[in-house]
Structure 1
Amino acid sequence: MEKLILTLLAVFTASASAETLLLRGATVHTVAGGTLAPGDVLVRDGKIAEVAAAITAKADRVLDLKGLHLYPGLVSPGTDLGLVEISGVRASVDDRETGDFIPEVESWLAVNPDSELIPVARANGITHFSPIPQGRHIAGTSALLAARGWTIEDMLVRRHTAMHLFWPDHSLSIPGPNPSPNAKSLEEQARERKEKVREIERFFADAEAWAKRPPDSPSVPAWQAMQPVLSGEVPLMIHAQDAREIRAALKWSEGRPGLRVILYGARDAWQLAGELAQRKIPVIYSEVFALPARSSDAYDAHFSAPAILHKAGVTVAISEGLERASASGQRNLPYIAAQAAAFGLPADAALAAITLVPARLHGVDDSLGSIEPGKDASLFAATGDILDIRSQVRHLWISGVEQPLDTRHTRLAEKYRSRPKLE
């Protein structure tokens, strides 16, 4: 019986994606080619077949979207969505493995496809997301998943979108006049930082040496996982926040020009915008709503950071981050971009920072991130500008199949709206 149900579901999904659908009369935000107001989009076999001001081709179904805004699905470039359900319940947290250097780990294998937080994110326009493994140094690879599917295999769009390196903390703990017995001197802290960087350097050197092994050498999963990173096939996403950390990571990467570096987190990256632009290192900025790190920082230092980076010529994507209830807060991704737009980031760049740029950084911009013929029909229709908190998503499609927008939130709201009234 179970096999029959799964077969019927597969047939239904295939037939739904094979349907020719004409989305008519919306304000179409293509991201890559401007805005059509109004415009039509023709979807065939789960792909965008045509985008134009008016489409006359016949379709199996025509949906009038007059008054609505049509966008490409939002892409969350880095999150713990699917890996964390309730951060205070250890059994629902699976965002890291033990060990300092575990490049063979693949985070998507730990994603819970039944997470109640995935529909919540989807209900606000997020169609794809990248679950990031966390750890001490090399934490493993991320993948790109669709925000729908019965299993993780159903959800998987692309494996090995990035290897993740968490750069050692470079913050300073300055001993006071009456330091505790366990307080470390500045010199000792500096030695520990240098040793951690040397550990990273030795690991990369060992991975390079393994590539030159004799042909009959036994397979080592960790070293095998590093080879696409060393060749530049898979990007190395370096997680660093403080300016000292970012500067140290950039200096280290100079000695390995073959690496494709992406900076994640990047709280103080705006201070190094010129170097990042010169070296063409993209930034996934996750600190828009973080408090200023220093008393000397302006109140809007992080609000305006994406604008500073963009103006300098840095490719910028925007993320909710891996802290501050990232999984449950994924629905706020467009509002984080909106805050950056309010502080100088052009509106079109803010929209691209949560659509086309993340798709490009994860190697799927040929199929996601914009509304163009030939791309995947992952779209949503909203009542207004998606960067406006008042806008509501009315329809959402992933690969041409319309997805439900109900969530645990809406089910609870309906439940308590219909409760018996007290007499």
Structure 2
Amino acid sequence: MKNLKQILVGVAFLFGIHAIAQQTPATKQTGTITITGATAHIGNGTILENSTLVFENGKITAIGNQTTPAKGRIIDAKGKHVYPGFIAPAKPLGLVEVDAVRASNDDDEIGDFIPNIRSLIAYNAESKVVESMRPNGVLLGQIAPQGGRISGTSSIVQFDAWNWEDAAVKVDDGIHLHWPSTFRRGRWWQGEPRGFLPNKDYTKDVDEVTAFYNNSKAYGKSRTETKNEAFNAMKGLFDGSQKLYVYANGEKEIIDAVTSAKESGVKEVVLVGGYEAYKIIPFLKKYNISVLVQHTHSLPKKADDDYDLPYKLPKLLVDGGLLVALENSSTSNFQTRNLPFYAGQLVAQGMEKETALQLITGNTAKILGIDASYGTLEIGKSATLFISEGDALDMRTNVLTHAFIDGRELSLETHQTELWKRYMEKYSR
């Protein structure tokens, strides 16, 4: 009887695992695939009508008009659109499964200055949240740690893998710093007024960051045998092999963050958030600062801001000549699947549609340093792309028929599509 119980428990466990398991990752591309007749959105601002796109061994080998020879398996995409895979930067995708369940959250570690914490090794390739990205064309992401002052080191992954080793596209690409704010929320439980109050410790907080920069740089030049993992993890910032992603929104905070980093010898700085970046565009251009600007579906932060500032902010920065990409600053990971529709919002603000597309494809790839392989549909680059029945920036028409990562054809089924089919059948009776 005991053995029978164990067998039944084991069978129930296996069925449970099957019920929650991800789609099996696609196998390596073996034959040539040609997509014909589609409108190709290259990702660099150009469009190719009635295109022919050929890829083999995971790489694009030809792209042109209908005179380009078709080979191998042919996908007729006439009347449809083909896009490079969308890229989601600066999010803890695969690190947080259910916000309200602490045991499923692995995006933060104890400590304020922990650049040596690597997000990649905690990445859950079988995350249901990650799985839900693919049907909207979001196929790559920068997995960023959260919390503390210096949260840790991010890596870039593709969203169809068994594990983090298979998923990795670029390992340990950058350090993520949450810059101190000049204001803080009032601690009403200690008798302080509600709302925002000046942060009296701002100068002290900035000095701590600057000291950490300087100590890390000095450690990299020293010959000490004492190992300091935190200082050692910062060396890539000073030799240019890694980028510093600074989260800051206020005008003063942005200026202080960039100035401090540059004066300390940090080679490349990327601004994340940048709510008031439009006020200091010449300053950002002077230091060649790229911006991962907050998503457009949000409310103004201040009472005297334009009511539509979040909607038009990316366009203001692009018009100012900055290299800009969109990031989803929403606290909920699952909202990242709406990334193409944040870009679509910019079209309503007067931005050209192909320019808006660049903010989630080519521009993002450049900022993350993966543009040699991803972000645009060009010969020699990865065949990470998808076919949509309509405009991918419009939630009404972005219906994917095919998707590929490095030439591997993905399943577009998720737990959400399964539930949708189940209940559509239920209510259609």
Please confirm whether the aligned pair reaches a TM-score higher than 0.5, indicating the same fold.
yes
Match of 2:404 in 1: 397
Identify which of 357, 364, 388 aligns with 2:394: 388
Q: Distance in 1 between matches of 2:381 and 2:328?
A: 26
Alpha-carbon offset, residue 405 of structure 1 = 0.7
Closer, same or farther: CA 221–58 of 1 in aligned 2, 3 Å: same
Q: Distance in 1 between matches of 2:428 and 2:169?
A: 47
Identify which of 34, 38, 42 aligns with 1:30: 42
SS of 1:26 mapped into structure 2? strand
Cα deviation per residue 1:162-218 (whole Å; 9 max; x = unaligned)?
Answer: 11010012225689xxx986539xxx955411111111111111111112222x613
Whether contact under 8 Å (1:304, 1:345) holds in the other structure is no
Does 1:213 pair with 2:231?
A: no
Identify which of 119, 124, 127 aligns with 2:131: 119
Closer, same or farther: CA 28–22 of 1 in aligned 2, 3 Å: same
Identify which of 65, 69, 73 aligns with 1:53: 65
Match of 2:374 in 1: 368
Whether contact under 8 Å (2:213, 2:264) holds in the other structure is no
Match of 1:271 in 2: 279
Whether contact under 8 Å (2:244, 2:266) holds in the other structure is no
Q: Distance in 1 between matches of 2:92 and 2:260?
A: 27
Cα deviation per residue 1:37-70 (whole Å; 9 max; x = unaligned)?
Answer: 1000000111000001025535221111111100
Match of 1:414 in 2: 421
Q: Distance in 2 between matches of 1:281 and 1:53?
A: 37
Identify which of 171, 191, 197 aligns with 2:206: 197
Q: Distance in 2 between matches of 1:55 and 1:396?
A: 24
Q: Distance in 1 between matches of 2:116 and 2:162?
A: 25
SS of 2:311 mapped into structure 1? coil
2:387 partner amino acid: A
Q: Distance in 2 between matches of 1:246 and 1:32?
A: 28
After TM superposition, the structure 1 = structure 2 runs for residues 212-251 of structure 1, keeping only pairs within 5 Å, are 212-214=221-223, 217-251=225-259
Q: Distance in 2 between matches of 1:27 and 1:366?
A: 23
SS of 1:299 mapped into structure 2? coil
SS of 2:208 mapped into structure 1? helix
- The alignment-based identity, stated in percent, is 32
Does 1:316 pair with 2:328?
A: no
Alpha-carbon offset, residue 287 of structure 1 = 4.0
SS of 2:422 mapped into structure 1? helix
Does 1:71 pair with 2:83?
A: yes
Alpha-carbon offset, residue 277 of structure 1 = 2.2
**Structure 1 range deviating more: 286-295 or 369-378:** 286-295
Structure 2, unaligned runs of 5 or more: 1-23
Q: Distance in 2 between matches of 1:231 and 1:40?
A: 42
Cα deviation per residue 1:6-51 (whole Å; 9 max; x = unaligned)?
Answer: xxx99x823xx13101111111111236211100000011100000
Whether contact under 8 Å (2:318, 2:324) holds in the other structure is yes
Whether contact under 8 Å (1:273, 1:308) holds in the other structure is no
Q: Distance in 1 between matches of 2:262 and 2:365?
A: 26
Match of 2:314 in 1: 306
Q: Distance in 2 between matches of 1:259 and 1:123?
A: 37
Whether contact under 8 Å (2:135, 2:412) holds in the other structure is yes
Does 1:86 pair with 2:106?
A: no
User: What is the root-mean-square deviation of aligned Cα atoms in Å?
Assistant: 2.3
Identify which of 160, 169, 172 aligns with 1:148: 160
Whether contact under 8 Å (1:41, 1:55) holds in the other structure is no
Match of 2:341 in 1: 335
TM-score when normalising by structure 1? 0.90
SS of 1:18 mapped into structure 2? coil
